[in-house]
């Protein structure tokens, strides 16, 4: 059974563009992430289409609201049959627990919590009044997610080494902010190369623009997969 480590972020504004890219890729090489832009534009039908193409789908809607609202949203997402979904750890213990309890035990959907967005660094943390360094905040929020029974977290691969050590092999570390050596950083701040991410213990690498904007997305995905395979 294949367990691709790359999750391609389908950050597109239409189903047509998303499907065009998905048709170039292969389910044994990558999983796909549907985020706020694409889901808002296309709704659950596109998620169903991608699953029908045998891709595992990570529904990245980063729910953050009162516990009852988040719990109901998580229940609806689990009902779609997605492989993974996320909520914001900053929603706090009651919200995380309500979300966990809302997903039926019979469901295989993984529930993970976003810790500190990879687009944020120390100055952004100061702006919103959080205390500590990024790695301390991420550790604190990951501990909260673990305590509430979640399957893992979204973090930067820069923090993965400590989290892997603290929470063990089964805790899922999903790492965006992945940038191959020669690609543009864009709006990301806490970045690593794919190699660093794997070496630091990341479970899955979320990669958007370096694959979606590549002249040959399939080739880029294949190359990254072989680099990852060489390290494992
Ligand atoms: O939850 C996420 O997927 C996420 C969390 C985070 O902290 N940082 C982050 O970049 N993401 C998502 O990961 C993807 C990264 O895309 P690229 O920067 O184009 O590789 C985007 O779809 C983001 O929404």
What is the pLDDT, as a whole number, of residue 182? 86
Q: Is 62 assigned a catalytic role?
A: yes
Tens-place pLDDT, residues 174-188: 999 999 998 999 999
Q: How far apart are CA 89 and CA 55, in angstroms?
A: 26
Q: Is 90 exceeded by the pLDDT of residue 118?
A: yes
What is d(CA 210, CA 183) in angstroms, rounded to the nearest whole number? 7
C-alpha of residue 206 to centroid of ligand 1, in Å: 7
Q: Which helix (H) or strand (E) holds 99?
A: helix 93-102
pTM: 0.97
- 85: which strand partners? 59, 111
Cα–Cα distance measured from residue 154 to residue 86, given in angstroms and rounded to the nearest whole number = 8
**Tens digit of pLDDT for each residue in 24-60?**
999 999 999 999 999 999 999 999 999 999 999 999 9
CATH of the domain at 42: 3.20.20.70
Identify whether 65 is a catalytic site residue: yes
- The active-site residue, picked from 65, 94, 121, 124, is 65
- Characterise 45 by phi-psi region: left (phi > 0), alpha (psi -120 to 50), beta (else): alpha
- Average pLDDT of 1-20? 95
pLDDT in tens, 61-113: 999 999 999 999 999 999 999 999 999 999 999 999 999 999 999 999 999 99
134 lines ligand 1 (CB under 6 A): no
**Predicted pLDDT at 1:** 57
Instruction: Establish whether 127 is a catalytic residue.
Output: no
Please tell me the chain's helix, strand, coil percentages from 3-state DSSP, rounded to the nearest 5. 45, 15, 35
The ipTM (two decimal places) reads 0.99
Residue 79 included in any domain: yes
Give the Cα separation of 102 and 159 in Å (integer). 29
Asked, for residue 132, whether it belongs to a domain, the answer is: yes
Number of folded domains in the chain? Answer: 1
Q: How much distance in Å is there from the Cα of 209 to the middle of ligand 1? A: 10
Q: What is the pLDDT of residues 132-157, one digit of tens each?
A: 999 999 999 999 999 999 999 999 99
* Cα-based distances in Å from 227 to 174, 175, 194, 197, 199: 18, 17, 8, 12, 12
Decide if 19 is inside a domain.
Answer: yes
Q: Of the listed 26, 49, 62, 94, which one is catalytic?
A: 62
pLDDT given at position 232: 83
Residue 1 lies inside a defined structural domain of this protein: no
| Residue 22 counted as domain residue | yes
Residue having the nearest C-alpha atom to atom 20 of ligand 1: 208
56 occurs within a structural domain = yes
On the question of pLDDT at 126 being above 60, the answer is yes
Mean pLDDT estimate for the chain: 97
Q: Cα 220 to chain center, whole Å?
A: 19
Q: Which atom of ligand 1 is nearest to the CA of 117?
A: 7
Please tell me the predicted confidence (pLDDT) of residue 2.
Answer: 79
Classify residue 30: in a domain, yes or no: yes
Reference 90, options 55, 114, 108; nearest CA is 114
Q: Which of 56, 60, 146, 151 is catalytic?
A: 60
Which domain does 88 fall in, by range? Answer: 6-231
Per-residue pLDDT reduced to its tens digit, 192-212: 999 999 999 999 999 999 999
Cβ of 91 less than 6 Å from ligand 1: no
């Amino acid at each position: 059974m294949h367990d691709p480590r790359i999750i391609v972020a389908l950050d597109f504004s239409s189903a047509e563009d998303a499907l065009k890219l998905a048709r170039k890729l292969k389910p044994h090489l990558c999983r796909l992430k549907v985020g706020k832009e694409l889901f808002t534009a296309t709704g659950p039908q596109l998620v169903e289409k991608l699953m029908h193409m045998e891709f595992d789908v990570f529904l990245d809607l980063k729910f953050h609201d009162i516990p009852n609202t988040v719990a109901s949203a998580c229940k609806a997402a689990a009902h779609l049959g997605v492989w993974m979904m996320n909520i914001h750890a900053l929603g706090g213990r009651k919200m995380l627990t309500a979300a966990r309890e809302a997903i039926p035990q019979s469901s295989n959907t993984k529930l993970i919590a976003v810790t500190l967005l990879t687009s944020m660094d120390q100055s952004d943390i100061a702006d919103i009044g959080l205390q500590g360094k990024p790695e301390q905040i991420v550790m604190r929020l990951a501990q909260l997610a673990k305590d509430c029974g979640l399957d893992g977290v979204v973090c930067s691969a820069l923090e993965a080494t400590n989290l892997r050590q603290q929470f063990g092999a089964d805790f899922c570390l999903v790492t965006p902010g992945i940038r191959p050596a020669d690609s543009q950083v864009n709006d990301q701040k806490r970045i690593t190369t794919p190699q660093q991410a794997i070496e630091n213990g990341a479970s899955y690498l979320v990669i958007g623009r370096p694959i979606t904007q590549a002249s040959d997305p399939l080739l880029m995905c294949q190359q990254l997969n072989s680099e990852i395979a060489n390290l494992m």
